[in-house]
Amino acid sequence: MRAQLVDNHSDEYGYPNESVQKFIENGFVCHEDEYIIELSYKLLFVLSLIKKCEEKGEKLLIFSQHLDTIGLLKRTLQNIKNWKEGENFYTISGFVESVEREQYADVFNKSSSNVRLVIVSTKAGCCGLNLQGASRVVIFDVSPNPSNDEQATYRTYRLGQEKAVYVYRLVAQATLEERDYKRQIAKISTGRRVEDQSQIESEFTEKELKDLYSNFRPNIYDPSLPALPHSDDTMLNDVLADVPEAVVEWKNHELHFAHHPEFELTDEEKKAAEASYVAESSSMDERY
């Protein structure tokens, strides 16, 4: 199951003080980082997930396309008990040589290793690495190019993987990131319709993408409302119970690409879809 989580982090609607205080009281986060954690519900979600993985003996990958975000994650981890870079977690970015990356991967993939987490720069580490030691993957931010995020998730789907893999795509609500995520869905859908001749319903119209922010206000957390629906992923359920205010909704990523026979393409529509896919790919290459 691949879950999309929407991060409601606008300062106009308050911060997750109660959950942060709980982490501090449990010694999982120091007082110095209280303000940093409150900068993002994403970080709050990730810290809870790290804690759950540690409790259940599972390993985790976190991908981010921004070095500043990677630095923030590292600084936060280094203030947590029993988390030391080089001993308990690694960081892989463009500054790490390929030989060293392979060494990191070899150590991480050993079940006896104390290294339980790898923070990876999306562009630097989305291809060529085998990190099947992890059973949980976090895509911390949305890449404008969907192939980067897709390749990142494949790092765990390698020979030797013995566990079910869960991928968490964190999407900040009411930001450009949400627009980029919807564009990802549109582009991947077009690609699958062309390559696999699949019948996939168009998830978002161009007008919906353009009007994303017209009359939009982020959801405000209301503890009196029913909790979010449960997932087949018990760890996700635990995290949602731990930090309920951090997540507006979760969705199964693959359901965006469900097969619909009623949307079968004619030959002309297939040609048009292929032309659209090529044009979109060329446009993406020029922009990035």
Q: What is the pLDDT of residue 283?
A: 53
pLDDT top residue among 76 and 261:
76
How many distinct structural domains can be found in the chain? 2
Structure tokens at 272: 């048009």
Of the ranges 51-60, 148-157, 161-170, the best mean pLDDT one: 51-60
pLDDT at 286 over 50: no
Instruction: Flag whether pLDDT at 156 surpasses 80.
Output: yes
More confident residue, 216 or 100: 100
> What number is the average pLDDT over the span 140-162?
86
Number of residues that this document lists for the chain: 288
Better pLDDT: 144 or 2: 144
The residue among 86, 88, 33, 42 whose CA lies nearest residue 64 is: 42
Same domain as 128, residue 206: no
Instruction: Give me the pLDDT at residue 118, please.
Output: 97
Question: Rounded to 5 degrees, what angle do the CA atoms 139, 142, 143 make?
Answer: 110
Give the start-end residues of each E strand in the chain. 2-7, 60-64, 89-92, 117-121, 136-139, 166-172, 247-252
Confidence bin at 39 (pLDDT 50/70/90): low
Same domain, 186 and 205: yes
Q: Are 201 and 98 in the same domain?
A: no
Q: Is the pLDDT of residue 228 over 50?
A: yes
Nearest-5° angle of CA 27, CA 28, CA 31? 70
Regarding predicted confidence, which is higher, 128 or 258?
128
Q: In degrees rounded to 5, what are phi and psi of residue 169?
A: -100, 115
Angstrom distances, CA of residue 192 to CA of 94, 96, 182, 256: 31, 34, 15, 12
- Position 154 scores a pLDDT of 87
Higher pLDDT, 139 or 177: 139
287 or 56: which carries more pLDDT confidence?
56
91-103 per-position pLDDT tens digit:
999 999 999 999 9
Sign of CA dihedral 55, 61, 64, 67: positive
* Whether residue 81 is found in the same domain as residue 198: no
* CATH code, domain carrying 121: 3.40.50.300
Among residues 63, 251, 252, 66, the alpha carbon closest in space to that of 152 is found at 63
pLDDT at 84: 93
3-class SS of residue 83: coil
Are residues 110 and 188 both part of a single domain? no
Question: What is the domain range of residue 269?
Answer: 175-216+260-288
Yes or no: say if 178 and 212 are a contact pair by the CB < 8 Å rule.
yes
Whether residue 164 sits in one domain with residue 109 = yes
Given strand 247-252, what is the order of strands in its sheet?
A: 89-92, 117-121, 60-64, 136-139, 166-172, 2-7, 247-252
* Nearest C-alpha neighbor of 202 from the set 144, 276, 134: 276
User: Cα dihedral angle (142, 143, 144, 146), rounded to 10 degrees?
Assistant: -100
Q: How confident is the model at residue 185 (pLDDT cuts 50, 70, 90)?
A: confident
Residues 34 and 131 in one domain: yes
- List, in sequence order, every residue forming a beta bridge with 4; answer none if it has no partner: 169, 251
Query: Does residue 37 have a pLDDT over 90?
Result: no
Is residue 12 domain-shared with residue 153, that is, in the same domain? Answer: yes
Whether 288 shows a pLDDT value over 80: the answer reads no
pLDDT for 143: 86
Task: Please give the pLDDT value at position 172.
Answer: 87
Average pLDDT score over the chain:
76
> Nearest CA to 55 among 19, 82, 20, 29?
82
Does 95 lie in the same domain as 186? Answer: no
Q: How far is CA 288 from the centre of its chain?
A: 20
CA-nearest of 256, 265, 254 to 199 is 265
Query: Is pLDDT above 80 for 275?
Result: no
Q: Are residues 53 and 157 in the same domain?
A: yes
Look at residue 135 in the predicted model and tell me its pLDDT.
94
Query: Comparing 180 with 259, which gets the higher pLDDT?
Result: 180
Instruction: Give residue 87's pLDDT band: very low, low, confident or very high (50, 70, 90).
Output: very high
Note the pLDDT of residue 114: 95
Tell me if 83 sits within 8 A of 56, measured CB to CB.
Answer: no
75 shares a domain with 24: yes
State both tokens at 124. Answer: 């630097």
Query: How confident is residue 179, by pLDDT bands cut at 50, 70 and 90?
Result: confident
Q: What pLDDT shows up at residue 1?
A: 32
Give residue 147's pLDDT band: very low, low, confident or very high (50, 70, 90). Answer: confident
Residues 233 and 276 in one domain: no
| Residue keyed to tokens 């949400």 | 178
